[in-house]
Amino acid sequence: MKPLLFVIAVLSLSMVGWLDADVMTVPPSSMPTSSLAQVYDARSDFAVVPVPTSIPNVGGATGADHMIVDPDFGARIYRLTDIDTIAGARYGQQQEWSMNCGGWGDSRVSNLDSTKILVCDAGASTFVLPFDPSTGKAGRAIAVPGGFPEWSKAQANIAFGIAQSRDPGITRVDFSTLPPKTTLVADLAKVPHCAEQFAGAAGWRELSAAWDDATFAVAVGKGIQDQAHTVYVWNANTGCQAYDTEAQTVNDSQVQGGAGSFFVHAIKISGDGKIVMVSPSGSSNLRRFWRVGSTEVDARPSTGNYGHFAMGYRSFVNAAETTSDGTWCKLGMAVRLLTALTSPFYVLTSKQCADTQARGDDHVSWNDDDTTDTRPFATSTVTIPLGSKITAPWQNEILVFMRDGIVHREAHTFNSGKAKFFACQNAIGSISQDGEWFFYSSDWEGTLGTDRDGNSRCDDFAVKLH
């Protein structure tokens, strides 16, 4: 067996061509901790609450900046976009809005202090909205080149993304001024013993950044998503490591416990940068957990390989669909320490589960997490089938889950589930990093007008959590 190869940068960084921007390593003392003061007191009962017969008016097609108070749950809901968010839009897709391009609740859509929000039109173009947390109003949408970046957990105006080239490059996006300024952090195709095979040939790429703003996971292939089989972890100080999911090797050494070859659908690195979760393509949900710096890959079926998830610092949370006493629960959440995957903490007891209806596409968000992994998490829900009548608590609602099993019912989504586009069909959204907001998309029960193609429109909204 070959020893693991770790490439150490011993040359002056100014002498090599693959590193063009300063990389700030965030010391542990600067990591987010449980000093966040947000307290939730929204109702937590188990009553069935249908959508009001009279839908609150948010202005129809052109109602950006409208605010309503949810008549049942009391939260303030602010409208962020409308049909004119892109002035003179030529295509229907430019008149539809979601909170992220991929339809994933784990996306970090808002920056550290909730003053900037990343949104997407239905054509997968990314924009930044300046946001005033004191008024709930958004500014003019500004295009962000290069796809949907990932906000830093330590710097309010910094995000990281993928370079606009055929090389697998990592970029630093500075939103201190708008439009944002993008600089290259590293071109992995030019890093020695890293991704040379993808020089000028990279197709689908995905990035995930650890909380130190210096450790990055990048999945890359020469074709489309679900055909890639290489995941890199790079840090300027410790070098490059490569996990080939098809060959089942890490830096050419055979993996331990990998459970067979597969192609990559998505990746996520833990906040501490020590574990990369790799989701496979196809119908298999058998996620792999690669321990960075080793050939160890945990692929045991009992590690919670089902349900959408959100990554924390050393743990992740997912919709495991069960309670602590083994009862089916549609939103039965589990928290798993990444170093003890087979010993989950189930958040709810059977008495705390309000919705035992059919499985749905429920996306959990944990962007407010800190190094203690004890912060609340949030989700937005739908009825199954989409658009069907509400028959249980928690349906078509925005919810905040506390670690003691109390679930705060913050607001209706006011979403019919009948939109054309996935993220809006499922009212997918994300909790802010400061835990004070939930940003999501909705068709507002079909009252937002139609786009140029005749589709019922979707817009983005901000809920002030309470």
pLDDT in tens, the chain (466 residues): 434 433 333 333 333 344 554 455 555 555 665 445 578 999 999 999 999 999 999 999 999 999 999 999 999 999 999 999 999 999 999 999 998 787 777 889 999 999 999 999 998 899 999 999 999 999 999 999 888 999 999 999 999 999 999 999 999 999 999 999 999 999 999 999 999 999 999 999 999 999 999 999 999 999 999 999 999 999 999 999 999 999 999 999 999 987 789 999 999 999 999 999 999 987 666 889 999 999 999 988 765 556 688 999 999 998 888 899 999 998 999 999 999 998 999 999 999 999 887 677 778 999 999 999 999 999 999 888 888 999 999 999 999 999 999 999 999 999 998 888 888 898 999 999 999 999 999 999 999 999 999 999 999 999 999 9
**How far is it between the farthest Cα atoms of the chain?**
68
CA distances from 251 to 10, 68, 294, 295, 346 (A): 20, 55, 9, 8, 36
pLDDT at 15: 31
For residue 318, give the nearest of 268, 282, 390 by alpha carbon: 268
pLDDT (0 to 100) of residue 173? 98
In this prediction, residue 63 carries a pLDDT of 96
CA distances from 257 to 86, 282, 304, 390 (A): 49, 20, 16, 44
Q: What is the DSSP letter of 256?
A: B
Beta carbons within 8 Å of 175's beta carbon, 6+ residues apart: 111, 116, 128, 157, 158, 159
Which burial class, exposed, middle or buried, applies to 403 when counting CB atoms under 10 A from its CB (0-12, 13-18, 19+)? middle
**In sequence order, what are the residues at sequence separation of 6 or more whose Cβ sits closer than 8 angstroms to the Cβ of residue 426?**
103, 360, 361, 363, 380, 382, 386, 417
Kind and range of the H or E element at 425?
Answer: helix 422-425
Q: What is the structure's pLDDT at 195?
A: 97
pLDDT at residue 363, rounded to an integer: 87
**What was the pLDDT predicted at 31?**
61
User: Could you give the CA distance from residue 168 to residue 186 in angstroms, rounded to a whole number?
Assistant: 9
